[in-house]
Amino acid sequence: MSFRNHADFAGRIRAGRTIWSAGAYDALSARFIEAAGFDAVMTSGFGVSASFLGQPDAELYTMSENLTVARNVASVVGIPVVADIDTAYGNAINAMRTVREFENAGVAAMIMEDQVSPKRCPICVGGVEIVSIEEAVGKIAAAVEARRNPDVIIVARTDAATEAEAIERAKAYVKAGADVIQPISKCFKSIDGLRALRQACGAPLSLQILGWLEKDLSPAEIESVAGMATFALVPLMTIASALHENLAKLRQDRSSHDLPRPRMAHDPFVKFIGFDEIEKLQMKYLPRDAA
């Protein structure tokens, strides 16, 4: 699927025509996601924290550090970038600046959650604390007002633990201007629950395909409710497993023969990351002896 501009991308999401994406943790992983043919790429807060800091997803990185990753990703891919902006790093006024900065970086959509800042990853802890519905609504309204392009999608994520509260909040968030609603994966337990959320709030859902959603739902079921569907952690966990196994074997044998995971060959990798294009530019613009 290709998109001419933000309006085309936003129109498909608002019409409930599912955008499929995968979670990037840096610019290189984003390039592989694009090469695989995904509609969009999402900068995963979980992945960014793990890759950029080597730390858990607990909002330990700053807004500017997260922004650096999003900007780098947007600069090297041609598909839309969806940015995880966590809690937007403060109150409604902080959220306004965060939205403007990420929009200026070139992202096409942002996911903002209603946890207390600093947040905690709900897939890694037993429970999380969320702000009042009034505060969350104010932040969403501020984020909507702050964006300069109305086709930059605002995804309101609720970390509410019960289906009833998630539906209540989703309805209020859509009324405040959110384009898409994202529940946490462990709140709803069935496709019927997700359909009830979709119908009640009147907006497409953003689903992170984790846990039971990854194991139990078919692509058709996901597309019946989702404007956005993201395999947020598959890229990160794939590379983590490959590095863990190959490096352990490399240290043990002190030889790169018989590694358990295959490696990309040097020449295809060099071509993939664009050395051919750089060489052409060098020949075109640098003095002949330098080139």
- Residue 121 a catalytic site member: yes
Contact between 225 and 191 under an 8 Å Cβ cutoff? The reply is yes
Phi-psi region of 86 (alpha: psi -120 to 50; beta: other; left: phi over 0): left
Angle between helix axes 163-175 and 191-201 (nearest 10 degrees) is 30
Please spell the DSSP secondary structure of the chain, one letter per residue. ---SSHHHHHHHHHTT-PEEEEEESSHHHHHHHHHHT-SEEEE-HHHHIIIIIS--SSS-S-HHHHHHHHHHHHHH-SS-EEEE-TT-SSSHHHHHHHHHHHHHTT-SEEEEE-BPSSP--TTTSS---B--HHHHHHHHHHHHHH-SSTTSEEEEEE--SSHHHHHHHHHHHHHTT-SEEEE-TTT--SHHHHHHHHHHHTS-EEEE--HHHHHH--HHHHHTTEEEEEE-SHHHHHHHHHHHHHHHHHHHHSS-TT-SS----HHHHHHHTTHHHHHHHHHHHS-TTT-
Active site amino acids: 121
